[in-house]
Amino acid sequence: MDHDALNAGNGGETHQRSDADHPVLTTNQGVAIADNQNQLKAGLRGPVLLEDHVYREKINHFDHERIPERIVHARGTGAHGYFELTESLSNITTADIFQRPGERVPVFTRFSTVAGGAGSVDTPRDVRGFAVKFYTKQGNWDLVGNNIPVFFIQDAIKFPDLIHAAKMEADRGYPQAATAHDTFWDFISLMPESTHMIMWAMSDRTLPKSFATMEGFGIHTFRFVNKAGQSTFVKFHWKPKAGLQSTIWDETVKIAGADPDFQRRDLFERIGRGDFPEWELGVQLFDEEFANAQPYDVLDSTKIIPEEVLPVKIVGRMVLDRYPDNFFAETEQVAFCPSNVVPGIDFTNDPLLQGRLFSYLDTQLSRLGGVNFTQIPVNQPKNVPGDHPFANLQRDGHMQMQVFKGRANYEPNSLHLAGEPGGPREDPAGFKTYPSEEEGAKLRIRPESFADHYSQARLFFRSLDPAEQAHLASAIVFELSKVSLEHVRIQMMANLRNVDETLATRVADGLAMDLPEASPTAAPVIDMDVSPALRIIRGPLEKHTLKGRTVGILIADGTDAAALKTVKAGVEDAGGTPMLIAPKVGAVPLSDGTKVKADAQLFGQPSVTVDAIAVILSEEACAKLVKEGAAVQFVMDAFGHLKAIGHNAAAQPLLDKAGVQPDEGVVDLDGFVNAAKKRYWDREPKVRTLA
């Protein structure tokens, strides 16, 4: 029988043969594969043979492609980049990366949501993880933070309860990636220590526009230790160069439908067009005396140190400039552990941090399948001088990648006396724990200094811009409206009275419920000085710019070519990305007879995906689009989401149909580029009722 002829007639047209550009396809044993289209069968139309080792190996590998997703922070995306020191901290820490300004070390950074599964959307209302692995010359330092500077709980023993309550409910398996449900608010209402974080969670902080437009925080107080062995307390901050930018709830919900991958796509595209996301690293440095003088405990992760009280000193910058080559190998397999510190950086007694030191190493064992996950390329130290990224006497285990030579798998040994390699030895310059003095009875107890759960929640709420306060109050109303247990709503309102009476009243009004008595507090609530640094809207990091932002330009048959050219060039000159959006993408005939390709189709690219819109239409096209729901919604949403709208005169009927009212942000094309650099917060009361 002619086997080649048989193959050709049986899936043969899909055979792609190896050549100079394409290496030979092999099994995992390195054996060349002749046919990747057909299983081995007994006869032309016969049954499949168990003998088919090529098929079995392929399917067996496929069957095991998935690993358990992270129990929290399952959905995320990451990028490579570098950290560059701009100011030396050599008198404060021996950590090598803080010694020489101008020196760079590689980093891998992963951003994530917390509650949703790996396949959930990018934009729920949720805290964002902000985890950075610094590959320093002294080994890996992981700063595993969030985009919010405080946490829900004070003691790590409550973490499983918090996460169980926040994730989908145990019996029904929903909601996915949402806090607006009974069990979450039940837990929160019974845990007053979570009140400060819940203020942040209900604010615009949990609706970041992009990973590149959010802050990051190390949260806990850590220690720096210098050459003399002196310790300085430190809190870490990441400040986005692109400024802080968030979305509006209605917009966020629609983004989730329009593009579930909105934020990972944004990161990918920013890096692709060379608009590299960048953050400054800042530190708040303080000593015991400062710590003792504050009206809260610096070991309590539900507290911030306001920047106005202790300024953030900028010491470096991080730039993310390379997308991973492979999502699974790098982003999925990267393993962050807060316990990964280097000499010169140490922990404090923060009971949340202390508990985290156990959890991460532990979870990697089941997530990555064994103790050798540190040998996965993205997890290996990359920058340590010498031949080996790490050298010790740990041996064997699942997926051991190293082939150790010799007998030295114990220490001390004297094998070198017999001319054999003796293996690695200790170095006095290695990691030494700061010898803080500790004594006391063994207790399961919270110190008095952790008892004030409301003063900083009040500080946060009162520091916000009125527009943000309205968003926050409305978010609580929305979430509590989804809570079916009335006693939980009442308990929450009782807690909110301790935060701010006006907030509690606004929530009660929004729910059409009576305000209960305030709940008892464990400590007096104090009025701290407001901190403008906590604002996004009209705050120090809000930027009026087109840099890093996208402008949607709605065009259709007959669009004025000259006007389009001017707007497009104006957006580009201002550092923005113009996106041409049209009813049909392949070719849009313009007024001068030329044709242009659109970047996106109107029906698949609603205006929630861009920062501002320009509408440039011919009279005929406009007459058609006023009858097109997607076009009307495009403009209506841009207006409702407080974005700039630039338009030519012929497009006016579409604006009218969308209910656009004249204001500062609705402009003709001449003024558009400038107008597009910001949102129009003052428009909001005209377009929606907020609590």
Amino acid in position 36: N
360 annotated among ligand-binding-site residues: yes
Residue nearer to ligand HDD on the CB measure, 360 or 460: 360
- From the list 355, 539, 558, 589, which residue makes contact with ligand HDD (rule: CB under 6 A)? 355
Give yes or no for residue 129 binding ligand HDD (CB under 6 A). Answer: yes
Task: Classify residue 98 by burial, with Cβ atoms within 10 Å: 0-12, 13-18, 19+.
Answer: buried
User: Smallest distance from the beta carbon of 374 to ligand HDD, in angstroms?
Assistant: 13
Stretch that binds ligand HDD, among 328-336, 341-349, 426-434, 441-449 (CB under 6 A): 328-336
Give yes or no for residue 185 binding ligand HDD (CB under 6 A). Answer: no
Strands 278-286 and 600-601: unpaired
User: Smallest distance from the beta carbon of 613 to ligand HDD, in angstroms?
Assistant: 34
70 annotated among ligand-binding-site residues: yes
17 annotated among ligand-binding-site residues: no
Give yes or no for residue 360 binding ligand HDD (CB under 6 A). Answer: yes
Token duo for residue 217: 């925080």
CA-nearest of 515, 506, 532, 523 to 455 is 523
276 annotated among ligand-binding-site residues: no
CB 333 within 8 A of CB 379: yes
317 annotated among ligand-binding-site residues: no
Stretch that binds ligand HDD, among 82-90, 142-150, 413-421, 439-447 (CB under 6 A): 142-150
Residue nearer to ligand HDD on the CB measure, 115 or 219: 219
CA-nearest of 122, 334, 148, 140 to 210 is 122
Stretch that binds ligand HDD, among 11-19, 66-74, 414-422, 592-600 (CB under 6 A): 66-74
Give yes or no for residue 286 binding ligand HDD (CB under 6 A). Answer: no
- From the list 179, 231, 232, 301, which residue makes contact with ligand HDD (rule: CB under 6 A)? 301
CA distance 360 to 382: 21
CA distance 360 to 333: 13
Residue nearer to ligand HDD on the CB measure, 7 or 339: 339
SS3 225: strand
Where do runs of H (alpha helix) occur along 259-381? Answer: 262-272, 288-293, 351-368
Task: Classify residue 51 by burial, with Cβ atoms within 10 Å: 0-12, 13-18, 19+.
Answer: exposed
Token duo for residue 358: 């156990």
User: Smallest distance from the beta carbon of 367 to ligand HDD, in angstroms?
Assistant: 6
150 to 169, contacts with ligand HDD by CB under 6 A?
151, 156, 159
Length of the chain: 691
DSSP 8-state code for residue 101: T
Distance between first and last Cα of the chain: 80
Q: Count the neighbouring beta carbons within 10 Å of the beta carbon of residue 520.
A: 8
CA distances (Å), origin 192, targets 149, 151, 448, 534, 554: 17, 12, 15, 21, 49
Q: Is 146 known to be catalytic?
A: yes
SS3 135: strand
Give yes or no for residue 73 binding ligand HDD (CB under 6 A). Answer: yes
356 annotated among ligand-binding-site residues: yes
Q: Is 383 known to be catalytic?
A: no
Interface characters, 217-256, with ligand HDD (x: CB under 6 A): --x-------------------------------------
CB 38 within 8 A of CB 10: yes
- From the list 75, 76, 189, 225, which residue makes contact with ligand HDD (rule: CB under 6 A)? 76
Give yes or no for residue 145 binding ligand HDD (CB under 6 A). Answer: yes
Bin 287: left if φ > 0, else alpha if -120 < ψ < 50, else beta: beta
State the residue number with the nearest CB to ligand HDD: 129
Of the residues 146, 495, 498, 648, which is catalytic? 146
Give yes or no for residue 352 binding ligand HDD (CB under 6 A). Answer: yes
CA distance 264 to 248: 19
- From the list 356, 453, 677, 678, which residue makes contact with ligand HDD (rule: CB under 6 A)? 356
Residue with tokens 């969030």, as numbered in its chain: 146
- From the list 54, 72, 298, 503, which residue makes contact with ligand HDD (rule: CB under 6 A)? 72
CA-nearest of 500, 547, 608 to 249 is 608
* Number of amino acids touching ligand HDD (CB under 6 A): 26
User: Smallest distance from the beta carbon of 352 to ligand HDD, in angstroms?
Assistant: 5
CB 552 within 8 A of CB 571: no
Residue nearer to ligand HDD on the CB measure, 126 or 557: 126
Amino acid in position 232: T
Residue nearer to ligand HDD on the CB measure, 156 or 508: 156
Stretch that binds ligand HDD, among 27-35, 71-79, 246-254, 440-448 (CB under 6 A): 71-79
| Sign of the dihedral defined by the CA atoms of residues 137, 141, 146, 150, in that order | negative
Token duo for residue 58: 């392929």
- Using CB under 6 A, list all residues that contact ligand HDD: 70-73, 76, 110, 112, 129, 131, 144-146, 151, 156, 159, 219, 301, 334-336, 352, 355-356, 359-360, 363
Question: Which residues are documented as binding site for heme?
Answer: 70, 110, 159, 356, 360, 367
Question: Which residues are documented as binding site?
Answer: 70, 110, 159, 356, 360, 367
What residues are labeled active site?
A: 73, 146
